[in-house]
Amino acid sequence: MADKPGILGKVTSVIGDVGVHVGSIDLVEVDDQTQVRDILIYCKSKDEVAKTVQGINALDDVEVVDQVDEIMEIHRRGAVEMVSRIPIQSLTDLRMVYTPGVASVCKEIQNNPESAWDWTGLCDRVAIITDGTAVLGLGDIGVVPSLPVMEGKAAIFAEFANLSAIPILVDSKDPKTVIETSLNIAPSFGAIQLEDIAAPACFEIEEALREKLDVPVFHDDQHGTATVVLAALINAIKATGKKTEDCNVIMLGAGAAGIAISKILLDFGVKDIVVYDSTGPIYKGRTERMTKYKDRLADITNKQGQTCPLAEGFKDKDIFIGVAQPNMVSKEMVASMNPDPICFPLSNPVGEISAEDAIDAGAAVYADGRGVNNALAYPGIFRGALDVHADAITLSMQIAAAKKLAEIADEDCLLPDMLDRNVHRQVADAVAADYLNSKK
């Protein structure tokens, strides 16, 4: 751009007119007549990028010389890599890490299989297993397109829990194949995280692996989400002056997250939950579009047998949780809830109701899927379970994690800062302590 007063202002005005947010602006190069600047912008679509570039190029004395998609560049060559924990700088190092020295370690493990936990990386290694059928907000996109998500998960494990997580892509929609593959590779790992597997297959796979393996098996979309939702609700209930045992919940979504959230809230002491799916409320005796997993849900929820339409179902509820689809909830629905309702529309990337509409309708506490992030839970949960060589991750361990997250959140915040490494360490310690107490 020409080195003249007002030119940068014109550029940022064009960006604002497109509806794009501006981030950092850095001066890269300057001479007597021109400046070169890097301007970071946040776009919702490629169309916004194109409109922004077109608008800037239409200005006098300004030219876009290059554009770079930072997200794509971050993922170039993948988000994670495997590196050696032991520097190999001499022939002696090589002989100790590999042959012939390693033979003595192999013999020790052969004679004492339990010692593998001490003499290998099993104590720090997690398998992230997916079939690519329920990826974030993208749905059934297949295993290879899902790999960046799994690598992102692995990066979070490494950064916040010092765990080596390996993405495992099982290219099959047959639950039996996923189960068999997982069982065959299980000896390589200290724990298994199931990720982005659609319901109801995710339930079948998790149940089978938990039954057959003596290592923690944890479906993050179910239990990681449920743990963080409980943590946020503990502080939300406290902020409104309500009592957990008096709270009635309406839930939209009876998939993996909805069922897991229902279980953990009931175990924690919530009075009752009515869960709606695309057919209507789930209740004991319903036959339309039911599965054995929804039948189990009907046994523990909807104690009054509520069968009314969704709009009426909001009446006299204290808490709304959405894990279904965007824009399903109206202001009138929220307004019909009990005073000072708690609204958690968690669907990504767009929630069931906007913050503006929910608050206008009387919501006392609002949180969406961006704030209630399961990445707050699973690094610490796995770290804690592996630290004590747990054979499973129990509901009690999840509740311990949720209580700790709620406890260490700053005042007036529902949840602590996910980027704070100490948060994950405290969650790990709480999970480990709960497991050890259960074995006394």
Positions marked catalytic = 98, 153
Count CB neighbours of 188 within 10 A. 13
Q: What is the DSSP letter of 34?
A: B
For the chain, the residue count is 440
Sequence-ordered strand ranges (E) for 18-124: 21-30, 35-42
**Block residue for tokens 């100790």:** 96
Which residues are bridge partners to 35 per DSSP? 30
Q: Are 405 and 431 in contact (CB under 8 A)?
A: no
Residue 93, burial from CB neighbour count under 10 angstroms (0-12, 13-18, 19+): middle
Residue 405, burial from CB neighbour count under 10 angstroms (0-12, 13-18, 19+): buried
Q: Can you say how many angstroms the Cα of residue 297 is from the centroid of all Cα atoms in its chain?
A: 23
Residue of 61, 50, 3 lying closest to 29 (CA atoms) = 3
Please provide residue 255's backbone torsions phi and psi, each rounded to the nearest 5 degrees.
-90, -150
Q: Are 15 and 48 in contact (CB under 8 A)?
A: no
Distance, CA of 311 to CA of 324 (rounded, Å): 15
How is residue 225 written in tokens?
């989400």
The secondary structure of the chain in percent helix, strand, coil, rounded to multiples of 5, reads 45, 15, 40
Q: Are 283 and 289 in contact (CB under 8 A)?
A: no
